Amino acid sequence: MTTAPSTFRVPLPDTLVELLGRKVIDLPAPGLEGGLLRGDVHMAYDRVRAESPEAQIVVHRCRDLLNDPHGDGFAVLEASPLLDRYGLDDGQKAATVLLSWLGVPLRAFDRWPLWKPLGTNLAIDPMRATGAGHNPLHIDVVNATEPPDYSALLCVRPDPRGEGYSIVSHLRRAVDRLSDDERALLAEPVFHDGAFYDLTGVGTEFDPFPVLDGLPPTKGFVRFTAKMLPGMDLDPHTSAVRALERELIAEQRTFRLGFGDLIVVNQHVCVHGREALGEGQEEVPKERRRLLWQMFLRAGEAVAR
């Protein structure tokens, strides 16, 4: 296994951590409208960025990592000082402020708060986000007309068994390595995945959908999820999806998120997933098992250059 390359990690300067700590108490709570962070709240958060040269440097670095067409479409922010110094509640709010500088926070799932907890449930399908098994490469809310532009995951508790490595891979480069026939099959709207209900801010249900929508990375998506493969018949479309999965796996990056690591993925160009958690999860008390918080972002500007 490898750790996230230092080029993809973004530390938070102490001065920025201290500024967020001073400001977070008086900043408004992250109120929502139509699933998105309310405009007045977003403006209040952005004023903090505007007064901090360090914040602007961090934002510029993150945008380069996320949106550079020659990059890998993800960044790992080292946000542990926010949780260490200010506790989980204020630390979460400070992380919300930080992410709001990259896009507009979005609560896609109506039944959850802005930050959706992803704990470890041993009673469900291990492949699911809160399961203990391999969660294969995918983009989130794949079956919507407007999936979130960015997916963010904040690690609150790493797997105490030392596993659960995160996986990312670049979609667009993988598609470029496919044959013309495979790309043509993936452009046909014949693919299905999951249910669609109680969602806000992601458009309408897209079923069936094409994997390739023909749009540029600034607007379109490669609607890939390996989770749909077990239910697919053996036909040329399945073979094309398998070919794309092989290309993604061949170039995937694998690393373990530590406490406070915040990974942000540009869903227009990158898929993410998780390797299986360590053995013996049933021996770990529920309150000590792996826990992530998930938030989505809607891009406030072009997501790729």
Amino acid 55: pLDDT: 98
The single-letter code of the amino acid at 139 is I
Are 231 and 246 contacting, i.e. CB atoms less than 8 angstroms apart?
A: no
Does residue 303 sit within a domain?
Answer: no
Does residue 178 sit within a domain?
Answer: yes
Does residue 64 sit within a domain?
Answer: yes
- Stretch (H or E) spanning 11: strand 9-11
Per DSSP, the three-state class of 172 is helix
Does residue 52 sit within a domain?
Answer: yes
Task: Determine the straight-line distance between the first and last CA of the chain, rounded to whole angstroms.
Answer: 31
How many helices and strands, by DSSP H and E, does the chain display? 7, 13
Does residue 277 sit within a domain?
Answer: yes
Tell me the C-alpha distance between 35 and 28, whole Å.
Answer: 17
The pTM (predicted TM-score) of the whole model is 0.95
Are 259 and 158 contacting, i.e. CB atoms less than 8 angstroms apart?
A: yes
Q: What would the two tokens of residue 1 be?
A: 């296994």
What is the total count of domains within the chain? 1
Amino acid 153: pLDDT: 98
Tell me the C-alpha distance between 64 and 54, whole Å.
Answer: 16
Are 255 and 8 contacting, i.e. CB atoms less than 8 angstroms apart?
A: no
Does residue 305 sit within a domain?
Answer: no
Amino acid 71: pLDDT: 86
Tell me the C-alpha distance between 216 and 246, whole Å.
Answer: 23
Amino acid 224: pLDDT: 98
Give the range of the structural domain holding residue 87, as residue numbers without chain letter. 6-298
Does residue 1 sit within a domain?
Answer: no
Q: What is the CATH number of the domain that holds 138?
A: 3.60.130.10
Cα three-residue angle 192-303-179, rounded to 5 degrees: 50
Amino acid 266: pLDDT: 98
Tell me the C-alpha distance between 295 and 271, whole Å.
Answer: 16
Does residue 193 sit within a domain?
Answer: yes
> How far from the centroid of its chain's Cα atoms is residue 213's Cα?
20
pLDDT by residue for the chain (305 residues), tens digit each? 444 456 899 999 999 999 999 999 999 999 999 999 999 999 999 999 999 999 999 999 999 999 998 889 999 999 999 999 999 999 999 999 999 999 999 999 999 999 999 999 999 999 999 999 999 999 999 999 999 999 999 999 999 999 999 999 999 999 999 999 999 999 999 999 988 999 999 999 999 999 999 999 989 999 999 999 988 887 999 999 999 999 999 999 999 999 999 999 999 999 999 999 999 999 999 999 999 999 999 997 544 43
